[in-house]
A and B are shown apart, each in its own frame.
Chain A
Amino acid sequence: MTSLIKGSALRKMAVVVAAFATVGLATPALAAGEAKHPRPAGFTFEGPFGAFDQAQLQRGYKVYREVCSACHSMDLMHFRTLGERGGPFYDAEAANPAANRYVKALAAEAQIADIDTETGEPVMRPGIAADRFPSPWANRTAGAAANGGAYPPDLSVMAKAREDGPNYIYSLLSGYAEPPAGLRVGVGQYYNPYMAGDMTPFWDGDPKKVPYGGFIAMPPVLMEDQVTFDDGTKASVDQMAKDVAAFIAWSSDPKATERKQSGVGVLAFLAIFAGLTYASYRRIWKGVAH
């Protein structure tokens, strides 16, 4: 499909690393080895009537804020979104998310790059509800340079950008495993059975038993009790992975709950409308042999 892969070994490596970072798919158009199927996390928001668990979203935001956001941006997220109906910090008393005290406090924790409105000099100021989540990197190149050439992907819509997204994120984060004996893992790479990729070129063992998964440039970042949850939930790796996956699922589609609720109403309306129309149809066609 492309000649990208041709060229020097260095370039080849750069492409592979870039692929890990941005698409998560290592080898273009080859008969790729398979990644392990994500484990089901049993999220509350699954199914047509499922809704997000607000406490879980709050825990998930904390994991993102304290762990993920060191490397991953969420460019499409604004602090105000956190206070929207269905969001982690929705407050029924603050209909306007900008007036939400939690949102204001969370935004103020962040330092936002801005300019002095008098002089035009660059300044840092505390965030407001209307601000975007600040990116950990000054620009893409800086982010890639600090991570061995692999820019940590933006997480705003990550749950929609992967097959079975929420379960995938949960499985990936909590699924790091020791590389099987016979797998050559390069410097700055980590083996993860849930990562897409093809391990065949790196596998010295039985060619019929190529391990699942792929290499990822992200080390296993979640450690037991890394975050202190405010609601007293034990911060196991599994719990943190599940919570942050739920948070990213919400941020990928903040209107999901509203959408499903509208859907129930729309289908109920259409069902009644269909019944009435069918009755009219029978009445109008009565006596017409056809």
Chain B
Amino acid sequence: MSGHESTYVPKSGIEKWLDTRLPIVRFGADYMSLPTPKNLNYWYTFGAILSICLVTQIATGIFLAMHYQPNTEMAFASVERIMRDVNGGWLIRYVHMNGASMFFVAVYIHMLRGLYYGSYKAPREMIWILGCIIFFLMIATAFLGYVLPWGQMSYWGAEVITNLVGAIPLIGEPVLIWLRGGPAIDNATLNRFYSLHYLLPFVIFGVVVLHLWALHTSGQNNPVGILIPKEREKKDMVPFHPYYTVKDGFALIIFLMMFAVFVFFMPNALGHPDNYIPANPLVTPAHIVPEWYMLPFYAILRAIPDKFGGVVAMFAAIGILFVLPWLDTSKVRSMRYRPTMKIFYMIFVVNGLILGWCGAQLPDAQVVPGMPSFALVDGQLNSYLWLTRLSTLYYFAFFAVILPFVGLKETPLKIPLSISEPVLKGPDAMSGAVPVQAEKKG
């Protein structure tokens, strides 16, 4: 899995004995000594941050599961009991709850970084696809988890999302009943959601192992986006440890500080107050909105006038990510050297934020209050309905039209011969590629 030649030399007798039977120490040592391009910037630290997010969610989740009651009569009160009567329970629960948001902050940055630097292109397609699977599993896990406190948004969120399945022609209705464990969302639904919410994080963990395996096989991409030939490895690469453990570590601590500000000073800022009202199937909340990280996809769902069409569009929005490596026709990986594409990329990022904003608004509300407007098909032009539709159009056009077309037409900038060139003004101007601690230690 290490993907590079092993440099591990067993020292003690036990290590030698173990190395011929189960080379687990070698595995760990090789994992940590992976040659890594030395020009990775802070956008590349989110992979490490994400692994800590996953471990944090699993660890806090295991403790929450010791106290949580998956029963419609008791779930709400049991979550509150955790925060009131369990030692440190408020911390565990708020970390888990805000941890989901932090996980998505990190994963969106991680994905946008991959998109910008072309980290999905050959030979790294499998890393990207596995990442897309992780993202999809994360959405599913977050949705299932949001239902567990059994507040108003939990219940009605589950109602809206499971109803999507009912929109599938012919098989929709029976599948819906099968999914919910009955004709309505009830105790059976809560129990299976709890079971799956506990299962999926371990599936994610497994796919993360594959994601890293693929990464260690094809090697890290880098901001310049060129493959580093074998003979330049010594000059352009540094071992992962200590160079990137310390850099990732620093970024992680800054990230944890932001995390801590939410957990300790504004733990409910990212949630919806309605979820502190116990679920009531007889009272529909005024606005049913998902958590912020699902809003762009919720917006796409609502952009399509047909219910089933909306479901297809929403899943397609995630599905199209899977084929991204084959939609991009450019031979250049990094958008650093693709000035035209860079502009479309920036618009894509802003467009994603607009989609998220639209997802939280009422479709009929005016975007610019008071601006004159006219009716277009089934709504006013100056409404979130049409803004959402235009944004959805750009989202899909970016992948399906812009990426293939611009890749063929654009003239990229001159690409450096090596990753050292942009720094040192010459491919072979080398100074400190020899690990510094080797000199210091002696």
Please give the residue numbers on chain A whose beta carbons come within 8 Å of chain B beta carbons, in ascending order: 1-2, 4, 15, 18-19, 22-23, 25, 27-32, 48, 75-76, 81, 153-154, 156-157, 160-163, 165, 196, 252-255, 258-260, 262-264, 266-267, 270-271, 273-274, 277-278, 280-281, 284-290
Contacts and interface: CB of A to CB of B under 8 A. Distances in A.
A25 B156 CA distance: 15
Contact of A284 (B152, B285, B365, B437): B437
21 contacts: A1-B160, A19-B283, A23-B277, A27-B286, A81-B84, A157-B80, A165-B273, A258-B90, A259-B264, A262-B91, A262-B264, A263-B261, A274-B250, A274-B257, A281-B249, A285-B246, A285-B247, A287-B436, A288-B38, A289-B38, A289-B432
Given A19-B283, A76-B77, A31 B364 contact: yes
Nearest to B250: A277
Contacts of A289: 38, 420, 423-424, 430-432
Interface string B381-415: 00000000000000000000000000000000000
Q: Which of A1, A30, A31, A154 has the most CB of B within 10 A?
A: A1
Interface string B272-293: 0110111010111111100000
Given A156-B80, A157-B276, A287-B436, 11 more contacts: A28-B286, A157-B80, A161-B273, A161-B276, A255-B84, A263-B263, A267-B264, A270-B253, A271-B257, A280-B246, A285-B246
Contact of A160 (B268, B362, B423, B436): B268
B84 A76 contact: yes
Contacts of A161: 273-274, 276-277
A15 B285 contact: no
A64 to B, nearest CB: 17
B39 A290 contact: yes
A267 B261 contact: yes
Contacts of A15: 282-283
B261 to A, nearest CB: 7
A160 to B, nearest CB: 4
B243 interface: yes
A266 to B, nearest CB: 5
A206 to B, nearest CB: 18
B80 A4 contact: no
B250 A281 contact: yes
B168 interface: no
B181 interface: no
Interface string B244-268: 0011011001101100110111011
Interface in B22-42: 38-39
A76 B238 contact: no
A31 B254 CA distance: 41
B31 to A, nearest CB: 19
B361 to A, nearest CB: 11
B59 interface: no
Contact of B265 (A1, A165, A254, A263): A263
Interface string B36-73: 00110000000000000000000000000000000000
Closest 8 CB pairs of A and B: A263-B264, A287-B432, A161-B276, A288-B432, A25-B286, A160-B276, A28-B284, A255-B90
B431 A4 contact: no
Contacts of B274: 23, 161
Contacts of A273: 253
Contacts of B263: 263
A270 B84 contact: no
Contacts of B253: 270, 273-274, 277
A252 B287 CA distance: 23
Contacts of B90: 253, 255, 258-259
A31 B257 contact: no
Contact of B243 (A76, A255, A267, A288): A288
Contacts of B80: 76, 156-157
A282 to B, nearest CB: 9
